[in-house]
Structure 1
Amino acid sequence: MAVVIRLARLGAKRKPHHRIVVIDKHKPNGRFIEAIGYYDPSKEPCFMDVNADRAAYWLSVGAKPTLTVKRLLKSKKIALN
């Protein structure tokens, strides 16, 4: 099973916020495996909360983050190795 870490959009029209989720790559709109964080770009400064232990676990077992999630994890200083 190919697993990715990506953003799942929540919120109302023009007021987006996102959940950082671990999901099967082949079911982009399906149920996610685990929610590991939250990202709200509409606040100043942008609010982000990530469970670093779970993110590190999923990265260690082979989950591939999207480019946006990779940038967000780097900003929180979570190792991507």
Structure 2
Amino acid sequence: MVKIRLRRVGKKKQPSYRIVVADSRAPRDGKFIEIIGFYNPRTEPETVQIKEERALYWLSVGAQPTEAVERLLKKLGTLDRFARLKAGEPLEALLAEAEAAAAAQPSEQPAQADEEAEMPREEASVEEEPSADASDQGEEEAEV
């Protein structure tokens, strides 16, 4: 049986994954048929990119996604588009919809990153003040 699953890559303690189509009998990081995307859980937010056309093709010929990949496909809407493809919608319309959805996602992420970048700066200034007070107290005790 052919599976769509995660293949671990990256350094020790720093995993990232390739989404691959492989024979179910092959080892997790072993031989595969095709790379159809990648997944990096270490970024904020998680980075997921899947070649929609290839994923729909492999699903249509009977490849079974693992639980983790199925969760990612649901999150991206690929499984919904696959159900509509089986119902008879044209592939070109579904691929155009997937590209539009992928283009909309990155525009939301920079706004969140800007907000998060400002927050640590405020916390850093708060943390510096108590350490300065502690050193002033130490000097006063030394003078007495």
Q: 1:75: which partner in 2? A: 75
1:14 CA displacement: 1.3
Aligned match of 1:62? 62
Aligned partners of 1:28 and 1:9: how far apart in 2?
Answer: 11
1:31 to 2:28 alignment? no
Distance (whole Å) between structure 2 residues aligned to residue 5 and residue 31 of structure 1 = 13
Unaligned runs of 5+ in 2: 84-144
Structure 1 unaligned spans of 5+: none
**Greater Rg by CA:** 2
For 2:18, the aligned partner's letter is R
CA RMSD of aligned residues (A): 1.0
Q: Output the CA distance in 2 between the equivalents of 1:62 and 1:28.
A: 20
CA displacement, residues 21-66 of structure 1 (integer Å, 9 cap, x when unaligned): 0000111243110000000000000001100110000000000000
Relative to the length of structure 1, the TM-score reads: 0.93
1:71 shift after superposition: 0.3
- The one-letter code of the counterpart of 1:8 is R
Question: How far, CA to CA, are the matches of 2:9 and 2:24 in structure 1?
Answer: 19
Separation of aligned partners in 1, 2:53 and 2:13: 32
Equivalent position amino acid for 1:73 in 2: L
- 1:15: which partner in 2? 14
Structure-2 separation of matches of 1:43 and 1:4 = 26
Relative to its length, the structure with more strand (as a share) is: 1
Q: After the TM superposition, which parts of structure 1 deviate over 4 Å for at least 4 consecutive aligned residues? A: none
Distance 1:34 1:62 in 2: 15
Report how many aligned residue pairs link the two structures: 80
More contact order relative to length (CA 8 Å, sep ≥ 6): 1
Structure 1 vs Structure 2: percent identity of aligned residues?
A: 50
Higher helix share: 2
